[in-house]
Amino acid sequence: MQEMERAAASLKAARNIVFFTGAGISAESGIPTFRDELTGLWSKQDPQQLETAKAFRENPALVWGFYLWRRNQAKQARPNAAHLSIQRLAASGRNVAVVTQNIDDLHERAGSIDVVHLHGSLKKPKCFACARSTDLEPNQYALPEHSMEREPPRCVRCNGRLRPSVLWFGEDLPVGIWKAAMAKVGGCDVLVSVGTSGIVTPAADIPEIALTSGATVIHVNLVDVSLGANKELMVIGKATQALPALLQAGFSI
């Protein structure tokens, strides 16, 4: 039996399914991965040098401008066939959850409800000082034309600068978020890892944690990222093609 058929059979037999998604699934919606070079005004910037608390302290206007630019990219993107396939499987009555490293909210925009964001979200900011989450007016998300900088708005509670509600390099994953993810991963029958690089920890450990808990792990990626375990299946291909094909083979949806 070929890997696609075996993967479809595993999905069909599963009661609890978790999709673990990384940058690869959103790349097909036009959102660059963290390994991609920046473009336009940002082409000479290194994103890893901007995605830190230290960078925000030193130049908050530049970092805030960078995330306004990223937020606009995400807003213009649309959920693709892979995002929509996950939602269709959940809508068919299966117990489906999503654990994602992505900050773009494309899963929710595709209709997924049970989503754990390991690395936060661009949806709304929080205070750098007191961590209070807040909503902004649409005009406060606008970046002036031909500009890379905009001074961050201030917190109405403590007057601290607002920052993106995302996990920066050097920051710890929130304990509550990790526990929520582990509850889903530890209780699943099948984990489908889609477009993950296996580089950023502790998220990179999730497939191995699922295997240790007895789940079957299906990797969907452009390259072989499997660990060589007995209950692993590797489906090589684009997420927008492989996930619809999996659901068609397993459930005819």
pLDDT in tens, 242-251: 999 998 888 8
Torsion of the alpha carbons at 40, 41, 45 and 46, rounded to the nearest 10? -40
Domains, the chain, with CATH or none = 1-30+79-119+172-253 (3.40.50.1220), 32-76+121-166 (3.30.1600.10)
Question: Which pLDDT score is estimated for 35?
Answer: 66
pLDDT tens column, 50-60: 999 999 999 99
Are residues 89 and 82 in contact, defined by beta-carbon separation less than 8 angstroms? no
Q: Which of 199, 21, 198 is nearest to 98 (CA)?
A: 21
Distance CA 33, CA 23 (A): 5
Q: Which of 129, 173, 163 is nearest to 59 (CA)?
A: 163
Question: Which pLDDT score is estimated for 168?
Answer: 96
Count, residues in the chain: 253
User: The tokens 């029958």 sit on which residue?
Assistant: 189
Contacts of 50 (CB under 8 A, 6+ apart): 62, 63, 66
Distance CA 95, CA 215 (A): 15
Residue-wise burial string across 151-174, b where 16 or more C-beta atoms lie within 10 A, e elsewhere:
ebbebeeeebbbbbbbbbeeeeee
Contacts of 106 (CB under 8 A, 6+ apart): 25, 26, 29, 31, 74, 77, 78, 79, 80, 83
List, in sequence order, every residue forming a beta bridge with 126; answer none if it has no partner: 133, 163
CB atoms within 10 A of CB 53: 14
Extended beta strands in the chain, E state = 16-21, 95-100, 115-117, 120-127, 162-166, 190-194, 216-221, 232-236
What Rg do the C-alpha atoms of the chain give, in angstroms?
19
Question: Which pLDDT score is estimated for 42?
Answer: 82
pLDDT tens column, 61-81: 999 999 999 999 999 999 999
pLDDT tens column, 30-43: 998 766 777 788 88
Q: Is 214 left (phi over 0), alpha (psi -120 to 50) or beta?
A: left
The segments of the chain whose pLDDT lies below 50 read none
> Which is the catalytic residue, given 83, 107, 117, 119?
119
Question: Which pLDDT score is estimated for 190?
Answer: 98
Are residues 190 and 18 in contact, defined by beta-carbon separation less than 8 angstroms? yes
How would you write 157-219 as a 3-class SS string?
A: CCCCEEEEEECCCCCCCCHHHHHHHHHHHHCCCEEEEECCCCCCCCHHHHHHHHHHCCCEEEE
Are residues 130 and 41 in contact, defined by beta-carbon separation less than 8 angstroms? no
Residue 119 annotated among the catalytic residues of the structure? yes
